Amino acid sequence: MSDQEYRIQDEDLIRDDITAYLRKHETKDLLRLLTCGSVDDGKSTMIGRLLYDAKMIYEDQLAAVTRDSKVHGTTGGDFDPALLTDGLKAEREQGITIDVAYRYFSTDRRKFIIADCPGHEQYTRNMATGASTADLAIILIDARHGVVTQTKRHSFICSLLGIKHVAVAINKLDLVDWSEEVYEQIRDDYNAFVSRLGFSDIHFFPICALHGDNVVEPSDNLPWYDGATLLHHMESVNIASDRNLIDMRFPVQYVMRPNLDFRGFSGTVASGVVRAGDKVMSLPSRQTSKVKSVLLNGDVIDEAFAPMAVTLTLEDEIDVSRGDMLAPVGNVPTIGNEIEAMVVWMHEKPAMQGRSYLIKQATSLVPGVLTDLRYKMDVNNLRKEAGEADSLQLNEFGRCHITLHRPIAFDPYDRNRGTGSFIIIDRLSNITVGAGMIIDRVVREDSLGPKSKNIAEARGTVRRQDRENMLGQSGHTVWLTGLSGSGKSTIAYEIERQLTAAGRLCIVLDGDNVRHGLNRDLGFSADDRTENIRRIAEVARLMNGTGVIAIASFISPYIKDRQDAREIIGADHFMEVHIDTSLEVCEARDPKGLYKKVRAGEIPQFTGITAPYEAPDSPELKLATESLSAEDCARAVVAMLDDEGVLGADDQ
C-alpha cells in the first residue's frame, strides 16, 4: 500500500449516469464469506487490501489509519492496512483481532459481507460463529510456512459448519521469490488432506496482499499464473446451487392476528418454495391444511422461497403457534425429542453430561438435557479423540446426544442449515454457551450408538462408584493384543491368578471362550473381526461397570478396532498391553499348530501371514516375551494397575 492516492470505483458512470449505476447496484446479489488464517498470515492486510482496492475506503479513514500507523502500526510507521479493519481499542493496542468483525464492501456484481475471524487457536468459537452464515471461506496460508496445523483446523471447522466453497489464498508470494514451485507444493499439500471434507469446490490463489498482487488486479509478478484474481472469484463463485429448494420448511415465528378476519403465520422460509394451494402439515401436531395465501409486506404474492420473510394464511383453523413448523404433506422433517449433533462449546464453563440447557432451534426454545457426550473431535485432524468424554471445554467440538423436553421438527444440518442448527443457552446465566449441528442418525459412525431411536438409557440410582467402593477396587480393562502364539492367554491367566491371589475380582475374556458363545455367529473377515471386538468391548465395559477387572486377550489386529474398544470402554479405564513377540518366535512356538496349517494353505486368512497385524504405536505397556517370563509379564501388568489406583488402597 505504498500508493495511497484515492480512487473511486466506477467514477465515470457515477458522474455520467447515476441512475444506471444505481440500477446496477440495486440488482446485485449477496455473498457472505469468512476469512481465516493464523496470526501473521496477513489476513487483516488482505481485507484492508480488498477494501482499499475496491475503493471502499474514504479519504478521511485513510488519513486516520495513516496517522494511527505511526502509533500502533507494526510496519515501522509505514501505512499499516491492517489498521483499516482492527476495530476495538484493546485489540488495536495488543495488535490482535479478538472477536468476529463484519466488513462490508461491494462491486457492481455483488455485495460482500466478510466475517473477519481471528486466527488464534483459542478462538475456534469465533470462527464457528463467522462460518455459520458464510457461503465461502477464504483460507490464508503464508507461503513461507505452507500448510500448518491451523490451516487444517480452520478447514475442518469450515467443513463442520457446512461451508461448501473454499478459496485458498497463498499469501506473501513475494517472500518466496514468486515461486511457482512453492505455490504448487502448497496446493498439493492442501489437496492431500482436504479431500474428505466435503467441500464442493476449492480454488487456489497466489497473492501478495501487502502490495496487492492478484487480489483485485492481476500481477506481472506471476507470469506463470493465468487464473482469476481473488476478487474476480469472489464475484463469480456460484452459490445458487447450495440452496435447498426442495424441502419446504417454514418455522412459524409469529402469529399475526390484527383482527378477527385475519390469522396469518409469519416467518422466514428456511428452505424450499411455498405457493398458495400447497398442502401443508403443521409439526409437531401433524394437523394438515392448505396454504390459502402467501403475503409479502402485506401484499399477496404467488410464491415464496428461502430466505424470504413472509406471512402465510391457511384454509383451515388448525392449531399453529410460534415454534411449530409448516412443511409439505409427504415431505416432512424428522419429529422427535432425541437429537444427535456435533456441538461446539463456546464458554469457559464446560458442557457437562447430564446438565440441562435451553435449546433454540429454528423458532423453538425447548429445555433439553445433554444426555450423552459420545466423543470429542480433534479439530486438528478431524478424528475422534480417544476415551470417554464427560465434559466439553471451551473451543472443543464433540458429538453429543441431547434429549429435549418436547419434540421438535428438524432436518440434518448437511441437508438444511436452517432447520438443522441450534444454539445452547445456559439456564442460569442466559449466555449462549454452545452451538450444534444435527447429524443424520443413519450415518455409519452412528453404529456406536443405539440403532433404535426408542432405546432410552435406563438410569438407576446406584452409581458405578458405589459398586467399586463395595469391592475396594476400580473396574478396569487390560487389553492384551499380539500375534497368535505370542503368549497372550498364558499371561492373561497369570494376571488373573495373581490378582485373585491378592483378593481382587477379575475375569479373563479370551478369544476362544468368547467365540464359542457370544460371538459364535462371527467368522474372521475384517468386518466380523471388528464386530467381534466391539461386542467384547461392550462386555468389558459392563463388567467394569460392576467394578470387575476384565482381562481381554485377543489378537485384535486393527488399530481402529482397538481404538473403538478404548472409546467404548473409556480411555480412563483402558490399558492396552502389547505382547510383543516376533512372528518367527510365534511360528516356532505354534502352540495350537495353526501356523503349520496356514503354511499348508488350510487357513485362508491368518494374522501376521496372510492378514495384517497393526502393532500399537503407543500402548500403555509393551511386554517383550522373548526376554521375560509369563510371571514377570503379569507382575508388570499388576504393578501398573496398582499405580493407576485400580487395586484400591489396601495392601496386596
Site for another protein in 121-160 (CB under 8 A): 125-126, 128-129, 132-133
**Residues 265-284 within binding reach of another protein (CB under 8 A):** 266-268, 273
**Residues 49-88 within binding reach of another protein (CB under 8 A):** 58-61, 64, 68, 85-88
Supply 155's cell numbers: 478447514
Supply 315's cell numbers: 384454509
Question: Shortest approach of another protein to residue 130 CB, angstroms?
Answer: 9
Q: How many whole angstroms separate alpha carbon 113 and alpha carbon 103?
A: 6
Which CB sits closer to another protein, 253 or 356? 253
**Residues 536-595 within binding reach of another protein (CB under 8 A):** none
CA distances from 270 to 250, 273, 279, 366, 418 (A): 6, 9, 17, 19, 5
**Residues 316-335 within binding reach of another protein (CB under 8 A):** 322
Question: Shortest approach of another protein to residue 360 CB, angstroms?
Answer: 5
Whether the Cβ atoms of residue 128 and residue 167 lie closer than 8 Å to each other:
no
Among 197, 423, 448, 505, binds another protein (CB under 8 A): 423
Give kind and range of the element (H or E) at residue 64.
helix 59-72
What does DSSP assign to residue 414? T
Among 166, 294, 425, 579, binds another protein (CB under 8 A): 425
Tell me the one-letter amino acid at 179: S
Which CB sits closer to another protein, 153 or 504? 153
**Residues 351-390 within binding reach of another protein (CB under 8 A):** 358, 360-361, 363, 365
Among 30, 501, 542, 615, binds another protein (CB under 8 A): 30
Among 357, 422, 554, 595, binds another protein (CB under 8 A): 422
Question: Shortest approach of another protein to residue 218 CB, angstroms?
Answer: 26
**Residues 85-104 within binding reach of another protein (CB under 8 A):** 85-90, 92, 98-104
Which CB sits closer to another protein, 47 or 147? 47
Which CB sits closer to another protein, 424 or 647? 424
Question: Shortest approach of another protein to residue 159 CB, angstroms?
Answer: 16
Question: Shortest approach of another protein to residue 328 CB, angstroms?
Answer: 16
Which CB sits closer to another protein, 39 or 98? 98
Q: Which of 400, 475, 391 is nearest to 436 (CA)?
A: 400
Q: How many CB atoms lie within 10 A of CB 649?
A: 7
| Long-range pairs of 227-232 with CB within 8 A, sequence gap ≥ 24 | 227/203, 228/203, 229/205, 230/50, 230/138, 230/167, 230/169, 230/205, 231/50, 231/53, 231/54, 231/107
Which CB sits closer to another protein, 309 or 456? 309
Q: With contacts defined by CB under 8 A, name the span among 109-117, 491-499, 527-535, 601-609 that binds another protein.
A: 109-117
244 binds another protein per the rule CB under 8 A: no
Rounding to the nearest 10 degrees, give the CA dihedral for residues 246, 252, 257, 260: 60
Whether the Cβ atoms of residue 373 and residue 400 lie closer than 8 Å to each other:
yes
Helix (H, G, I), strand (E, B) or coil at 470: helix
**Residues 448-477 within binding reach of another protein (CB under 8 A):** none
Supply 26's cell numbers: 440495486
Question: Shortest approach of another protein to residue 330 CB, angstroms?
Answer: 21
Q: How many whole angstroms separate alpha carbon 114 and alpha carbon 117?
A: 9
What does DSSP assign to residue 652? -
172 binds another protein per the rule CB under 8 A: no
The 3-state secondary structure of 311-328 reads: EEEECCCCCCCCCCEEEE
Q: With contacts defined by CB under 8 A, name the span among 260-268, 378-386, 608-616, 640-648 that binds another protein.
A: 260-268
Q: How many whole angstroms separate alpha carbon 18 and alpha carbon 3?
A: 28
Q: How many residues bind another protein (CB under 8 A)?
A: 87
Helix (H, G, I), strand (E, B) or coil at 231: helix
CA distances from 457 to 51, 371, 449 (A): 54, 9, 11
Binding mask 214-243 for another protein (x = CB under 8 A): --------------------------x--x
Question: Shortest approach of another protein to residue 166 CB, angstroms?
Answer: 20
Q: Where does residue 7 rank: exposed (0-12), middle (13-18), buried (19+ CB within 10 A)?
A: exposed
110 binds another protein per the rule CB under 8 A: yes
Q: With contacts defined by CB under 8 A, name the span among 293-301, 482-490, 564-572, 575-583 that binds another protein.
A: 293-301
Q: How many whole angstroms separate alpha carbon 494 and alpha carbon 478?
A: 13
Question: Shortest approach of another protein to residue 32 CB, angstroms?
Answer: 9
Helices 488-501, 630-643: crossing angle, 10 deg rounding: 60
**Residues 427-446 within binding reach of another protein (CB under 8 A):** 430-432, 435
Question: Shortest approach of another protein to residue 3 CB, angstroms?
Answer: 16
Question: Shortest approach of another protein to residue 434 CB, angstroms?
Answer: 9
Residues 6 or more apart whose Cβ sits within 8 Å of residue 98: 88, 90, 91, 118, 120, 123
Q: With contacts defined by CB under 8 A, name the span among 23-31, 34-42, 145-153, 602-610 that binds another protein.
A: 23-31
Give Cα 512 distance to the centre of its chain.
39
Question: Shortest approach of another protein to residue 30 CB, angstroms?
Answer: 4
Which CB sits closer to another protein, 133 or 391? 133
Q: With contacts defined by CB under 8 A, name the span among 19-27, 187-195, 371-379, 481-489 that binds another protein.
A: 19-27
